[in-house]
Amino acid sequence: MTTKQKPIQGKAFVLGKNIDTDQIIPAAHLVYSLSDPEERKLYGKYALSGVPAAESGLPQGNIPLTNEDATKSDFSIIVASDNFGCGSSREHAPACLEIAGIKAIVSPSYARIFYRNSVDGGFLTPYESVEDLSTKIHTGDELEIDPEASALINHTQNKTYELKPLGSVAEIVHAGGIFAYARATGMVPK
């Protein structure tokens, strides 16, 4: 089941290192149902609301992921430093980022459970960068991820950076998660 992956385009939202799942979605906001359409939107509203500016997790100027009462972000690609998604194993972390409109994350390294939750749930694509791009890309830069070339293109700065190939992870995310992939490939009955 090989399908051509489409490029991902959008504005960058740059974060520091060691962004943990409590910062991505604070425990106080885990009370909403992911299956209720109205409550589900609140995960987008509170995505990354636990990142304190003092720890330099937020982009320069303390720009929030979503504005005031919005549930969708103007940003669609997170560029972070090392160890993105560390902390607890909550599946709500990649889900809330997807609900907020994030399509991909680019980081040199991830907490293993966050990476697997992102892929298995089909929430968003976790790309691994060859180098730490969090100091080279700025929040608001217009980016394009070319999965076929394993490259991130910064159209604002006219620069291209190498990404590690996704391999079989791409098929799982593209299918919509591990269970959808298993059904599509005949591993489990439809």
CATH number of residue 32's parent domain: 3.20.19.10
For the question of whether the overall pTM of this predicted structure is more than 0.85, the answer is yes
- Distance (Å, whole) CA 122 – CA 65: 21
Largest CA distance in the chain: 50
Residue 58 located in a structural domain: yes
Residue 148 located in a structural domain: yes
Q: Are 96 and 47 in contact (CB under 8 A)?
A: yes
Q: Are 101 and 44 in contact (CB under 8 A)?
A: yes
Residue 29 located in a structural domain: yes
- Indicate the burial class of 38 (C-beta count within 10 angstroms; 0-12, 13-18, 19 or more): exposed
Residue 189 located in a structural domain: no
By C-alpha distance, which of 133, 132, 137, 125 is closest to 165?
A: 125
By C-alpha distance, which of 144, 107, 123, 122 is closest to 25?
A: 123
C-alpha gyration radius of the chain: 16
Residue 3 located in a structural domain: no
From first to last of the 190 residues of the chain, give the pLDDT tens digit.
Answer: 556 778 999 999 999 999 999 999 988 899 999 999 999 999 999 999 877 654 545 555 568 889 888 999 999 999 999 999 998 878 899 999 999 999 999 999 999 999 999 999 999 999 999 999 999 999 999 999 999 999 999 999 999 999 999 988 888 988 888 888 888 888 888 7
Residue 2 located in a structural domain: no
- Distance (Å, whole) CA 133 – CA 56: 15
Number of domains, the chain: 1
| Owning domain of residue 23 | 8-184
Helix 37-46, helix 92-99: angle, nearest 10: 90
Residue 73 located in a structural domain: yes
Residue 190 located in a structural domain: no
